[in-house]
Chain A
Amino acid sequence: MSAATYAQETTTSSPLQISGSADTYYKYDFSKKQNIGTSFANDQNSISLGMIDLALKKTTGKASFVGELSFGPRGQYASIPAGDAAGDGNSFHIQNLYTSYAFTDKFSMTAGYMGTFIGYEVIAPTGNYNYSTSYLFTSGPFQNAGIKANYTFSPKVALMVGLFNDWNVYSDDNGVSHFGAQLTLSPVEGWTAYLNVLTGKSAGAPGTGSIYDLTTSYQVTESVKLGLNAADYSISNDNGGYSGVALYAQNAFTTNFSLGLRGEYFKSKSDLNAATITTVPPGESVVALTLSANLKAGGLTFIPEIRFDNGSSSQFIKNNLDPTKTASQFSLAAVYAF
């Protein structure tokens, strides 16, 4: 079998595609306590596991399927729905499990459980530049089960509309309850913007939750990339939500070494019945700066990272458990992609 195929050719049946990643990390919070409440990289002063992620994809004619499972703490316990770390709950986490049919070059439909279309960051560490995640990522949906239609109007404009379950559930207790849409714009080469909306009332929720999200990135030069994520989430009847913006700037100094800075402002809404979002209390905010390096060696990427969070209130803790407005941590992650 040839090691490469023409990109221009269309095959009726592609070989089974297998890919994935494995990751592990060490984190040290300078308060010597678990402090920053965003996703993953949570264990303090421990060489800990992320997950092994395995994805299969097969395309036959116009039909394709994707199945992606993860095993390990990042998938099983830090993602949602989570297994029971102490017991024998689910032993894996489904990242993607969907089928798709391309009716034409422009129109396709997809159904199943899919990574969310909301936001800049994702669960799989190979999809993120920084190893620790933003407050926007942690607070937003991780995955959406549903059915969606995609139409590409031109190379510069595409639209997705779909009906979805509640956030992060394999099956929905209150019916298919959410509507979502994504408008994709690519005005110039290297610049893509996604305008997203997802709205609906989840089972047992006090109100209808609506999230409006802008995710965009621009490859300015061969080495410089900029990104932005802005989102607003509200639950009706004064039940809170959040808003925030995260900026990403990355520069590749060589093909193997790059530096990236993420700056984020995140605010929990102070509505009457608002619940705490991550570690940010209602009405309070946090500014987080994360500086990461990516050092690549073949399929392996080392990610040394330092992070400083500064809250508007004393939402973190010191070594002696006294509350404080600031938190900082160092982490070193190794992520292998195959």
Chain B
Amino acid sequence: MFIMTVLFYLPMSAQTSTRAELMPLDERGKYIYYEVVEKNPVPADSLQIRANEFLTAKKLDAVKSTKDQLSASGKFLISKTAFVLTRPSGEVLYNFVFELKEGKYRFWLTDFAFIAYKRDRYANYVPATVKGVPLEKEPGKLNAAEWTSYIAAAGKQADLFATEFKQYLSVGKKTAVQPQTKPSVSTKSW
């Protein structure tokens, strides 16, 4: 009964987004998460190194680096979640660009494309295809609500990514936490 109750609510959890929460479009008509950071005390070469470290740590693919620019591609997992249960709906691919100029930097995520997941013969979720569908493509009214939720989820993920990225660029790699030495009690002398 509990499972059936949860199943009833599952489809609802991913469809609560509205158009107002969606990302803006750029001049090409593509969804974009765009940010410029003006007040930045970190030197340019450190920013470049830190940005590279961040992309590597996040396991983004095809990282390309020039003097003032970094680019890479990554993906966000989109899941439907209810209470303690979840299941992946698909993944959103994106391209990431980072640029430095005169003491400030900017970055953006764009070219979002959705790949639906399907269950394979072992009940694992796997990509149904390798070719993503651009998020700008009109899904038709039958799938409009679900598609809107994917765009909103991609925007939310881009926002989280951006927050982490800016944080990393401002402080760099955190000092590795030294393993605590186990307290020891000597019983030899007393």
* Across-interface contacts of A57 in B (CB, < 8 A): 123-124
Name the distance in Å between B121's Cβ and chain A's nearest Cβ.
4
Check if B78 is an interface residue, CB within 8 A of chain A.
Answer: yes
Check if A198 is an interface residue, CB within 8 A of chain B.
Answer: no
* Across-interface contacts of A255 in B (CB, < 8 A): 133, 137, 139-140, 143, 147
Check if B1 is an interface residue, CB within 8 A of chain A.
Answer: no
Give the CA-CA distance A15 to B88 in the complex, in Å.
11
In the complex the two chains form, is A115's CB within 8 Å of B86's CB?
Answer: no
Give the CA-CA distance A16 to B81 in the complex, in Å.
10
Name the distance in Å between A192's Cβ and chain B's nearest Cβ.
9
Name the distance in Å between B75's Cβ and chain A's nearest Cβ.
5
Check if A154 is an interface residue, CB within 8 A of chain B.
Answer: no
Task: Give the interface size class of chain A.
Answer: 35 or more
Residues 111-129 of A contacting B (Cβ, < 8 Å): 114-117, 122, 124, 126-127
In the complex the two chains form, is A222's CB within 8 Å of B131's CB?
Answer: yes
Check if A12 is an interface residue, CB within 8 A of chain B.
Answer: no
In the complex the two chains form, is A3's CB within 8 Å of B81's CB?
Answer: yes
Question: Which of B58, B119, B130, B139 contacts A126 (CB under 8 A)?
Answer: B119
With contacts A15-B81, A255-B139 taken as known, whether A7 is within 8 angstroms of B75 at the C-beta atoms is yes
* Across-interface contacts of A338 in B (CB, < 8 A): 7, 10-11, 87
Residues 128-148 of B contacting A (Cβ, < 8 Å): 129-133, 137, 139-140, 142-143, 145-147
With contacts A3-B153, A15-B84 taken as known, whether A127 is within 8 angstroms of B118 at the C-beta atoms is yes
25 contacts between A and B (CB under 8 A): A1-B81, A2-B156, A3-B79, A3-B153, A4-B78, A4-B79, A4-B153, A6-B58, A6-B76, A7-B75, A7-B76, A17-B86, A18-B3, A18-B87, A19-B87, A19-B119, A19-B123, A66-B123, A68-B123, A96-B123, A116-B121, A190-B130, A222-B131, A222-B133, A225-B129
Given A114-B121, A296-B142, 14 other A-B contacts at CB below 8 A? A3-B14, A4-B78, A5-B77, A6-B76, A16-B84, A17-B88, A18-B10, A20-B7, A96-B122, A96-B123, A190-B129, A222-B132, A255-B139, A256-B143
Interface of A toward B, CB cutoff 8 Å: 1-8, 14-20, 54-55, 57, 66, 68, 95-96, 98, 114-117, 122, 124, 126-127, 189-190, 219, 221-222, 225, 254-256, 296-299, 337-338
